[in-house]
Amino acid sequence: MAKPKILKAILLIIVVFLPALGCGSQSISDDYTTPPMVLRLAETYSEEHPSALATQKFADLVYEQTDGHIQIKVYYNGELGNEAEVLEQLQFGGIALARVNLLALSDVVIMLQDYIKPFIYPTPDDILNTFADQDENISSAAQLEKLVPLVWYYPDIRCFYNNKTVIHDVDDFNGLKLQSSISNAMTEIISQMGSEPVNILTGDTFKSLDRGFMDGGESSFCSFLLSDVYAMVPYVSISDYLYCPDVILGSGVTFSKIKRNDQELIIKCAKETFEYQKTMLLDLQMKGLKRLEEKGAIIEDSDILDTSIREHFDATKINGVTHD
């Protein structure tokens, strides 16, 4: 089968951060003479996920480079809420930081939905390069929603998994009940492929699959590998049809109270985790493919499936089915 694309180019994304405080504002930190600043970071992944490993590395770097005066505490497994709830808390300052996915963020920063289209980016680097080129526009749109992008991570490949049938081509999606991101963009994509999108609480996916409330799902490959349904599904299809990077966000409300030099240090530390996240991601992808082969899962050729999906969406564009 075709293996995931692994490219060598490394992207450095430059983000436009919030302006410094006005005169007379009270800073959270004052050359580290005040008590340590503790910032909560919401992480919906488990600790083993490559992006979650990177968020902890980010926290460690900030701690080291401030001698412990800025401390970031990471809360894993959605302890502080799902992505939609976390984004809402970021907007009013209830949480200082969060790692979310582009799909969830696009329901808040609507202009990002333009970047979530099947096959518009040939490689993961292409979407990251586009985000770099559009950085000012994206950052400005996010800041209007009181959100501050710190770093976009290397996007995972996608996968479809189910316990009903081998997915050879797009016709095999017909009638399947697939769990996916609750984002508007992904719900529309799943529907256009003929499947029924279902929204099941993460903690109930194992039970829902077992009882037939869902037949499978669509997710990033690494999320699937670390999920509780991994052991239950015999059919897995890997696809490069869509790239949706994770991103670390800051709360505009919280960050407006942080001194400019501390803001810059936090940005710097976030960016320094990009290479680490990418390395961990590609490593888990390769190990995951091997594990699937060893357990006897049927892994469909991604080139054949992607060709079918591409032809399907090209046809829907011609017929005016898509909603841009």
Span 8-23, pLDDT tens digits: 333 333 233 333 322 2
Q: Is the pLDDT of residue 323 over 90?
A: no
* The Cα angle at residue 234 between residues 233 and 239, in degrees rounded to 5: 90
pLDDT confidence tier of residue 32, bands split at 50, 70 and 90: low
Which tokens belong to 53?
A: 């490993």
Between CA 222 and CA 159, with CA 138 as vertex, the angle to 5 degrees is 20
**Banded pLDDT at 205 (limits 50, 70, 90):** confident
Say what the pLDDT of residue 193 is. Answer: 93
CATH code 3.40.50.300 for 37-155+245-283:
no
Question: With 90 as the cut, is the pLDDT of residue 148 above it?
Answer: yes
Measured distance CA(252)–CA(96) in Å, rounded: 8
Q: What is the DSSP string of 302-323?
A: HHHHHHHHHHHHHHHHHTT-S-
The answer to whether 74 and 91 have CB atoms below 8 angstroms apart is no
Q: What is the mean pLDDT of residues 270-290?
A: 97
pTM of this prediction? 0.86
DSSP letter string, 167-220 = --SGGGGTT-EEE---SHHHHHHHHHTT-EEE---GGGHHHHHHHTS-SEEEEE
Predicted pLDDT of residue 70: 97
| Average model confidence (pLDDT) across the chain | 87
Q: Give long-range contacts, CB 8 A cutoff, 24+ apart: 319-324.
A: 321/192, 322/192, 323/188, 324/114
Q: Is the pLDDT of residue 165 over 50?
A: yes
Q: Where do the structural domains in the chain lie, given as residue ranges?
A: 37-155+245-283, 158-241+285-318
- The pLDDT value recorded for residue 26 is 35
In sequence order, what DSSP letters do the residues of 125-168 get, joined into one string? HHHHHHHHHTHHHHHHHHHHTTEEEEEEPPPPPEEEEESS----
Q: What is the mean pLDDT of residues 216-228?
A: 93
Residue 60 has pLDDT above 70, yes or no: yes
The three-point CA angle 57-59-61 to 5° equals 70
Q: Calculate the alpha carbon distances from 171 to 174, 192, 301 in Å.
A: 6, 11, 15
Residue 262: exposed, middle, or buried by beta-carbon count in 10 A (0-12, 13-18, 19+)?
A: buried
Q: What share of the chain has pLDDT > 90, as a percent?
A: 70
7 has pLDDT over 60: no
Token pair 């504002």 in the structure block, residue = 25
CA distance 269 to 267: 6
Interatomic CA distance for residues 92 and 79, integer angstroms: 18
Q: Name the residue among 162, 287, 290 with its Cα closest to residue 219.
A: 162
- Read off the pLDDT of residues 234-253 as tens digits, 9 standing for 90 and up: 999 999 999 999 999 999 99
Classify domain 158-241+285-318 at the CATH topology level. D-Maltodextrin-Binding Protein; domain 2 (3.40.190)
d(CA 220, CA 236): 12
pLDDT of residue 31: 57
Mean pLDDT of 309-318: 82
Residue 205 makes CB contacts below 8 A (sequence gap 6+) with: 179, 214, 217, 227, 228, 229
pLDDT at 315 over 90: no
